Amino acid sequence: MKTIEQRFWDKVGPHDDPEKCWLWLACTAKKTRYGFFWLDGGMELAHRVSYEMHYHVTIPEGMTLDHVKARGCTSTLCVNPHHLEVVTQKVNVLRGGAPSSLHAKKTHCPQGHLYNKENTYVTHRGSRDCRICHRAEVKHG
Residue 74, domain extent: 4-96
**89 shares a domain with 121:** no
**137 shares a domain with 90:** no
**115 shares a domain with 69:** no
**CA 110, CA 106: separation in Å to the nearest integer?**
9
Task: Give residue 141's pLDDT.
Answer: 60
Domain contains 26: yes
Q: Domain holding 31: CATH number?
A: 3.90.75
**CA separation, residue 98 to residues 45, 67, 78, 104 (Å):** 22, 15, 20, 10
Residues 27-32, mean pLDDT to the nearest whole number: 90
What pLDDT digit, counting tens, does each position of 39-95 carry? Answer: 999 999 999 999 999 999 999 999 999 999 999 998 999 999 999 999 999 898 888
**CA separation, residue 110 to residues 10, 32, 106, 140 (Å):** 51, 32, 9, 18
**CA 40, CA 47: separation in Å to the nearest integer?**
16
Counting every residue written for the chain, the total comes to 141
**10 shares a domain with 75:** yes
The number of folded domains in the chain is 2
**82 shares a domain with 36:** yes
Task: Give residue 6's pLDDT.
Answer: 97
Residues 21-50, mean pLDDT to the nearest whole number: 95
User: In this predicted model, which residue has the larger pLDDT, 141 or 31?
Assistant: 31
